[in-house]
């Protein structure tokens, strides 16, 4: 496989890691909220559990495949030959060591998802795993250029957790879980869960924006020129546009569809809320793909030197 093919594979797998991590976080939150809703929300709760297990399994698998592609890229050999280079990459490179942290978090998350039935111990293990995975993932990217224990890595880890929470409840809620609360008998549960989705998404968005601005400032190097004069800047602009679109859709649900749903509890307003959330989820998929491309591009300030 040539260098271009390896690069495309790395980006595709990085995007899958982003999406799987977010799905896992969102599914875990929804599972917790739905557990207290009782029998009417049973199907939705089962969907959230299935989504959690599937997402954590996908996270482990995509992490493994990403390391194989990374090893092939670093050693300059094909994918099959890269298997022999994996131990060297893990032991002798910072990327390999940071990957071990991220992969350990993914494995712990999968174990917690499989073993837990919504208990406190299982939830605590999962969220510890999420923090560990985010810390490892942050240490793999550009933030680690400032040092493995730097403020930049801490901010990036917080950014990953913020995007995981925001994107995750939108993805898992809009594509899998909330459509199961579409009937009149589950309308009350839908309204309560939708309110929590809206509130947590708004809080997580604040974290995403703050940490994202910090990361963008580092990548730009104090100048706006890289936005228009580098590939990284063009990708960052596209990501910003997609984030803005997702924010507008979320604001439409929070400011219009959800208040109407609370007042009327009607089927029409239920469909309106779920349809907007579904559209926001599709935009979120685009954001995670673009984020993967951005992470595998040289920062704008560096590319211009």
Model confidence at 120, pLDDT cuts 50, 70, 90, reads confident
pLDDT digits (tens, 9 = 90+) for 2-25: 667 788 889 999 999 999 999 999
**Of 134, 185, 181, 157, nearest in space to 20 by CA:** 134
Do 219 and 299 form a contact (C-beta atoms < 8 A)?
yes
Question: In which residue are the tokens 């060297």 written?
Answer: 88
| DSSP letters for the chain | --HHHHHHHHHHHHHHHHHHHHHHHHHHHHHHHHHTS-GGGHHHHHHHHHHHHHHHHHHHHHHHHHHHHHHHHHHTS-HHHHGGGHHHHHHH-HHHHHHHHHHHHHHHHHHHHHH-SS-HHHHHHHHHHHHHHHHHHHHHSGGGGG-TTSHHHHHHHHHHHHHHHHHHHHHHIIIIIGGGG-SGGGHHHHHHHHHHHHHHHHHHHHHHHHHHHHHHHHHHTT-SHHHHHSHHHHHHHHHHHHHHHHHHHHHHIIIIIHHHHHHH--HHHHHHHHHHHHHHHHHHHHHHHHHHHHHTS--HHHHT-
Q: What is the per-residue pLDDT for 146?
A: 67
Average pLDDT over residues 102-107: 97
Model confidence at 302, pLDDT cuts 50, 70, 90, reads low
CATH code of the domain in which 218 resides: 1.20.1630
Task: Please state the pTM of the whole predicted model.
Answer: 0.93
Do 4 and 25 form a contact (C-beta atoms < 8 A)?
no
Do 250 and 230 form a contact (C-beta atoms < 8 A)?
no
| Residue 163 CB partners (closer than 8 Å, separation 6+) | 18, 22, 204, 208, 287, 288, 291
Q: Is the pLDDT of residue 127 over 90?
A: yes
Copy the structure tokens of residue 193: 């869960």
Torsion of the alpha carbons at 175, 178, 181 and 184, rounded to the nearest 10: -100
Model confidence at 27, pLDDT cuts 50, 70, 90, reads very high
What number of CA atoms fall less than 13 Å from residue 124's CA on the CB side? 3
Determine the structural domain holding residue 120 and report its residue range: 3-303
Q: Is the pLDDT of residue 63 over 90?
A: yes
**Of 85, 143, 137, 77, nearest in space to 106 by CA:** 137
Return d(Cα 132, Cα 111) in angstroms, integer.
14
Return d(Cα 61, Cα 13) in angstroms, integer.
10
pLDDT digits (tens, 9 = 90+) for 145-169: 766 778 889 999 999 999 999 999 9
Q: φ and ψ at 199, to 5 degrees?
A: -70, -45
**Of 161, 151, 103, 156, nearest in space to 127 by CA:** 161
Q: What is the per-residue pLDDT for 210?
A: 94
User: Nearest-5° angle of CA 194, CA 284, CA 303?
Assistant: 145
Q: What is the per-residue pLDDT for 118?
A: 59
Model confidence at 109, pLDDT cuts 50, 70, 90, reads very high
Say how many domains are in the chain.
1
**Of 33, 15, 30, nearest in space to 168 by CA:** 30
pLDDT digits (tens, 9 = 90+) for 220-278: 776 777 777 788 888 999 999 999 999 999 999 999 999 999 999 999 999 999 999 99
Return d(Cα 194, Cα 159) in angstroms, integer.
23
pLDDT averaged over the chain?
Answer: 90
Do 227 and 233 form a contact (C-beta atoms < 8 A)?
yes
């Amino acid at each position: 496989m040539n260098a271009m093919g390896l690069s495309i594979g790395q980006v595709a797998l990085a995007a899958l890691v982003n999406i799987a991590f977010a799905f896992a976080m969102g599914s875990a939150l929804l599972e917790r909220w739905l557990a207290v809703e009782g029998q009417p929300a049973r199907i939705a709760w089962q969907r959230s559990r299935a989504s959690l297990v599937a997402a954590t399994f996908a996270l482990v698998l995509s992490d493994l495949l990403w390391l194989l592609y990374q090893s092939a890229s670093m050693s300059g050999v094909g994918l099959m030959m890269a298997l022999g280079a994996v131990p060297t990459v893990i032991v002798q490179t910072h990327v390999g060591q940071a990957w071990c942290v991220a992969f350990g978090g993914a494995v712990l998350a999968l174990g917690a998802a499989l073993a837990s039935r919504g208990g406190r111990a299982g939830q605590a293990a999962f969220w510890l795993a999420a923090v560990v995975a985010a810390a490892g993932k942050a240490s793999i990217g550009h933030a680690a250029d400032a040092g493995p224990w730097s403020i930049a890595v801490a901010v990036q880890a917080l950014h990953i957790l913020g995007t995981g929470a925001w994107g995750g409840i939108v993805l898992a809620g809009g594509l899998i879980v909330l459509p199961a609360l579409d009937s009149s008998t589950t309308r009350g549960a839908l309204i309560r869960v939708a309110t929590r989705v809206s509130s947590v998404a708004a809080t997580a968005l604040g974290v995403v924006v703050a940490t994202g601005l910090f990361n963008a400032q580092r990548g730009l190097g104090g100048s706006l020129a890289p936005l228009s004069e580098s590939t990284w800047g063009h990708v960052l602009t596209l990501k910003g546009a997609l984030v803005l679109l997702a924010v507008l859709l979320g604001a439409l649900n929070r400011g219009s569809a959800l208040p109407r749903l609370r007042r009327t509890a009607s089927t029409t307003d239920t469909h309106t809320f779920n349809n907007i959330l579904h559209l926001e989820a599709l935009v979120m998929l685009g954001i995670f793909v673009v984020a993967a491309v951005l992470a595998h591009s040289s920062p704008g300030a560096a590319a211009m030197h």
